[in-house]
Structure 1
């Protein structure tokens, strides 16, 4: 069964009259992780934002987005807000941008959980405390009383994963969640995403330009270039025997980086 179907998605800039995504179609199967890869500007993030209709005012889209049989493009903005977070969770690239800088992070959790579940402050705090501990965040009550700028990028990403665990959406969209992190934090956050999938058993779209991370977490992959899907299929098959020249380029570049890294780690041998 498909959790999500995207049919003939087009996205364009109404100010410039420029088409950014041209006629994209793909499916997300139940219980699987679909990765979207490609270089900056390929349309990966815009594709994710199109699914939950979170565009800047001048960005337009057409096509069909079907979630669990429901046509999202026919919903009002009010109904769409109810689907975001509770049914389709989005974990942003920049953790800082997901929180109100003028409030401590605990307020964000309380407001979100009150809106979706009608929970009191105490109920929200108790659930978040448990979820934060499960993603290896110690002293959760202390963290909830901090402002976003007082926390590291890795901590903010873990907080978003913890909130996702509480909301339990059917689909999680993670838009380059490790890009702004250092190598150690990247590794730890990827491990948390793998555990998130195991715990929730849900479906995930994972956007990244890091093929090593994609190989570790995803079942299927879409390769995007300049707003087009140029290749798709099983991760192992696409990375082992890429068909499109652009995918071949991405895979070979990744292998060269891996060889270079291994060479350094082995003392230049």
Structure 2
């Protein structure tokens, strides 16, 4: 069964008439992780923001986006707001842009959870602290009293993952969640996302240009170039026998980097 079915998605810039996404069709299976890969400007993030209906005001979209059988393109903004967070959860590339810089983290979290569940403050604090501890964030109370700029990128990402744990959405969209992080934080965040999926059994869309991370987390992969899907399939077959020239280029570049790194390590020993 598919949790998401996208048919003939087209996104264009109303100011210039330029088409950004060309007639895309794809599915996300229930409980699986679909990775979208491609270089910057290939249309990965715009595709995912189309599902959330969070693209810039001047970007228009058409086509069918079925989420659990319901066409999201036909919902009002008020109806979409109810779905965001509770059913569809977006984890952004830059944790700083996900939180209101003018208030402490705890305020943002309380408002989000009250909006969707109507829990009292004590219930919210208990649930979010448990979730924060489960993603290895120490002293959750201190963190809740801090402003976004006082926390590292890795911590902000983990707070978003903790919030997702409490919200228990059906679909998590992670938009390049490791790009702005150092290597150790990248590893930790990917591990947390894998555990999140295992714990909740939710579906996931994972956007990245890092094929190593994609190989670790995804079941299926979709390759985008210039706003079009050029290849898709299960992770093993696409990576071991890529058909499209662009996918072949991505995979060979990744292998080259990997071999170069191994060679450097051997020389260092």
Question: Which ranges of structure 2 fall in alignment gaps of 5 or more residues?
Answer: none
Whole-angstrom distance in 2 between the partners of 1:45 and 1:243:
24
Correspondence 1:166 to 2:166: yes
Q: Which residue pairs with 2:149 in the alignment?
A: 149
Q: Which residue pairs with 1:126 in the alignment?
A: 126
Q: 1:215-262 CA distances to partner (integer Å, 9 max, x unpaired)?
A: 000000000000000000000000000000000000000001111111
Q: Which residue pairs with 1:77 in the alignment?
A: 77
State the number of aligned residues.
Answer: 269
Q: Which residue pairs with 1:175 in the alignment?
A: 175
Question: Which ranges of structure 1 fall in alignment gaps of 5 or more residues?
Answer: none
State the Cα distance separating 1:268 from its structure 2 match.
4.9
TM-score by length of 2: 0.99
Whole-angstrom distance in 2 between the partners of 1:17 and 1:2:
32
Superposition pairs for residues 1-269 of structure 1, below 5 Å?
1-268=1-268
Q: 1:86-141 CA distances to partner (integer Å, 9 max, x unpaired)?
A: 00111011100000000000000000000000012221111100000000000000
Task: Give the secondary structure class of the aligned counterpart of 1:267.
Answer: helix
Task: Give the secondary structure class of the aligned counterpart of 2:267.
Answer: coil
State the Cα distance separating 1:42 from its structure 2 match.
0.2
Query: CA contact under 8 A between 1:110 and 1:120: conserved in structure 2?
Result: no
Task: Give the secondary structure class of the aligned counterpart of 2:177.
Answer: coil
Deviates more, 1:258-267 or 1:114-123: 258-267
Whole-angstrom distance in 2 between the partners of 1:250 and 1:260:
15
Query: CA contact under 8 A between 1:32 and 1:204: conserved in structure 2?
Result: yes
Whole-angstrom distance in 2 between the partners of 1:265 and 1:86:
45
Query: CA contact under 8 A between 1:91 and 1:177: conserved in structure 2?
Result: yes
Whole-angstrom distance in 2 between the partners of 1:191 and 1:265:
24
Query: CA contact under 8 A between 1:2 and 1:27: conserved in structure 2?
Result: yes
Whole-angstrom distance in 1 between the partners of 2:267 and 2:108:
47
Whole-angstrom distance in 2 between the partners of 1:52 and 1:170:
13
Task: Give the secondary structure class of the aligned counterpart of 1:238.
Answer: helix
State the Cα distance separating 1:208 from its structure 2 match.
0.4
Task: Give the secondary structure class of the aligned counterpart of 1:266.
Answer: helix
State the Cα distance separating 1:263 from its structure 2 match.
1.7
Give me the CA root mean square deviation: 0.8
Deviates more, 1:118-127 or 1:138-147: 118-127
Task: Give the secondary structure class of the aligned counterpart of 1:16.
Answer: coil
Whole-angstrom distance in 2 between the partners of 1:72 and 1:264:
49
